[in-house]
Chain A
């Protein structure tokens, strides 16, 4: 079975610019997660979707971050404007509906803000 796909794999932008990341979950996985992983830390949940509805976005910095999951499949995460502290790896993960038991992670997008 194909895994979680993410693009781009790497992105370098200047502060105050905008950036968007894309994620395609495993087919049939209704739950999709975006995590931020700062170097040397564990992944931190930014937002969780169940189909195309938001379940949890309590740790999403909504003044600059936004995410959507149209049609309940692919998802995009946007940062506008970016700050230096946004430099991190952004991981997308998916899991079967009604089960957070096994999350499958994508390869991540490494963002560097200069």
Chain B
């Protein structure tokens, strides 16, 4: 079955700098890669996703890149702000099927230093 590995497990960056979180997946059939943000004590919330027919997607300060050949994808956050502090989870799925399930990475705790 699918396995998703996420690095680093913790990341601390200066406010205003960029943060990059990387994930690899094992199943080449996976075609949907969402990223979730989970603030302390709150539910995971989808912040951006990418499908396998594109290599990059951007939404304001957040971007995700996908390399299908290498089976890895990354989350990039630019101009980081204090409210970006949270745990970020990557995930992979053979989506678009009611039988599809999302496999999550282990999470990255991002801290933004003032």
**With A103-B46, A105-B43 given, is the CB distance from A42 to B104 under 8 Å?**
yes
Q: Which candidate, B55-63, B67-75, B92-100, is the interface stretch facing chain A? A: B92-100
How far apart sit A50 and B45, CA to CA, in the bound complex (Å)?
A: 22
Contact of A105 among B44, B96, B97 (CB under 8 A): B44
Task: Count contacts on B: residues with CB < 8 A to the other chain.
Answer: 25
Contact of B89 among A43, A48, A55, A108 (CB under 8 A): A43
* Interface Cβ pair total, 8 Å cutoff: 67
Shortest beta-carbon distance from A103 to chain B in Å: 6
Shortest beta-carbon distance from B23 to chain A in Å: 11
B95 and A99 contacting across the interface, CB-CB below 8 Å: yes
How far apart sit A83 and B49, CA to CA, in the bound complex (Å)?
A: 36
Residues of B within 8 A of A48 (CB): 99, 101
**With A91-B44, A101-B49, A105-B44 given, is the CB distance from A41 to B106 under 8 Å?**
yes
Shortest beta-carbon distance from A32 to chain B in Å: 11
Residues of B within 8 A of A55 (CB): 98-99
Residues of B within 8 A of A105 (CB): 43-45
Shortest beta-carbon distance from A62 to chain B in Å: 17
**Does A56 touch B at the CB level, under 8 Å?**
yes
Task: Count contacts on A: residues with CB < 8 A to the other chain.
Answer: 26
Which label, helix, strand, loop or mixed, suits the secondary structure of the A interface?
A: loop
A44-84: CB near B (< 8 Å → 1, else 0) gives: 11001010000110000000000000000000000000000
Interface residues of B, Cβ cutoff 8 Å to A: 6, 32, 34, 42-46, 49, 89, 91, 93, 95-107
Interface residues of A, Cβ cutoff 8 Å to B: 30-31, 33, 40-45, 48, 50, 55-56, 91, 97-108
User: 20 more A-B contacts (CB under 8 A) besides A42-B104, A48-B99?
Assistant: A31-B98, A33-B101, A40-B106, A41-B106, A42-B91, A42-B105, A45-B102, A55-B98, A55-B99, A91-B43, A91-B44, A97-B98, A98-B96, A98-B98, A100-B100, A101-B34, A101-B93, A104-B46, A105-B43, A106-B43
